[in-house]
Amino acid sequence: QVQLVESGGGLVQPGGSLRLSCAASTSIFSAYAMGWYRQAPGEQRELVAQITSGSRTNYADSVKGRFTISRDNAKNTVYLQMNNLQPEDTAVYYCNANRFVTNSWGQGTQVTVSS
108: left (phi over 0), alpha (psi -120 to 50) or beta: left
Sign of CA dihedral 89, 91, 92, 97: negative
Is 110 in a helix, a strand, or coil? strand
Confidence class of residue 112 from pLDDT cuts 50, 70 and 90?
Answer: very high
CB of 92 closer than 8 Å to CB of 109: yes
For residues 95-115, average pLDDT: 96
pLDDT of residue 94: 98
pLDDT of residue 93: 98
**Pairing mode, if any, of strands 109-113 and 10-12?**
parallel
Confidence class of residue 53 from pLDDT cuts 50, 70 and 90?
Answer: very high
